Chains A and B, each alone.
Chain A
Amino acid sequence: MRKVVGLILLLVLVAFLVWGVLLIHPFGYPDASDMDDYIIQNAQEETGSNNVVTSVVFDYRGFDTLGEATILFTAVTGVLLLLRTEKRRKEGS
């Protein structure tokens, strides 16, 4: 019973994936790229760095990087909280 339901679910999801691949734009010719054209033209004057990807990560979209740093901090805190080794004392204090 569980295998039948799983198989139907898998077929539905694979059908969605194949339908998406058939309807997407051809590889190498994207449609709407006005924002990226503006960023490539003006990144050297406004931010002053040669690397356009770094200027997007830290200057044009710096708020996403702040969220990502918070996620990294929270994950490290969670892992260090769950993996504690405490020595048990011999006396029952």
Chain B
Amino acid sequence: MLSKIVRTVTNEFMLFILVFGFYIIAHGHLTPGGGFQGGAVIVSGVVMLLVAFNSQELKKTLHERALSIMESTGALIFIALAFAGIGAAFFYNFLVGTPIFGRIPATGPNPGDIWTGGVIPLMNFAVGLKVIAGLSAVVLAMALFSSGEEIEE
């Protein structure tokens, strides 16, 4: 565990990293970004938490069961959205034209409108959830394995 200054600054920074990561995930259909890129930004924030605090301390906050449930939920939402338009095709974009996310932007260069995109923003959220939970679990397991050799009784 590092000194008190590092721990306090890390606690403050994690909020900004979370907001930045969710901004990249949510605006995936307007600016460069999307599910995978935003998920990688948030996982880098979790690695910063792992470096500042002990892995034993972090294990009390991020339970493995919660991470596993989050990852499975992301995968199931993705597959459910893929199967929902099965009337026409497998990955059919069935929300274009409906009032949920279905406005169609003007052709050519335009300032973006966030309520466009059809089924794409929902898929971005599902994939972002999956990437965050999966890579956080991998990093946490590697840190616990290499430092947990002294506590086996």
Contacts and interface: CB of A to CB of B under 8 A. Distances in A.
Contact of A49 (B107, B117, B152): B117
Given A59-B120, A69-B78, A69-B127, A49 B134 contact: no
Contact of A48 (B102, B137, B145): B102
Interface residues of A, number: 29
A76 interface: yes
B93 interface: yes
Interface string B101-140: 0111101001010001111100110010011001101100
A62 B93 CA distance: 10
Contacts of A83: 141-142, 144-145
Given A87-B152, A88-B153, A48 B78 contact: no
B20 interface: no
Contacts of A57: 34
A17 B43 CA distance: 36
A53 B102 CA distance: 19
Interface in A15-60: 44-51, 53-55, 57-59
Contacts of A87: 151-153
A54 B116 contact: no
Contacts, number: 105
The A interface, classified by DSSP as helix, strand, loop or mixed, is helix
Interface stretch (B7-15, B23-31, B45-53): B23-31
Contacts of A79: 138, 141-142
A66 B78 contact: yes
Given A48-B102, A85-B152, 12 more contacts: A44-B104, A48-B96, A49-B116, A51-B31, A54-B34, A55-B120, A58-B91, A58-B123, A59-B119, A63-B91, A80-B138, A87-B151
Q: Which 7 A-B residue pairs are closest in the complex by CB-CB distance?
A: A62-B91, A49-B29, A49-B117, A76-B134, A83-B145, A83-B141, A85-B148
29 contacts: A44-B107, A47-B93, A47-B118, A48-B93, A48-B104, A48-B118, A49-B29, A49-B30, A49-B120, A50-B29, A50-B112, A51-B29, A54-B34, A54-B124, A55-B120, A57-B34, A58-B123, A62-B91, A69-B75, A69-B130, A72-B130, A73-B75, A73-B134, A76-B138, A79-B141, A80-B138, A83-B142, A85-B145, A90-B153
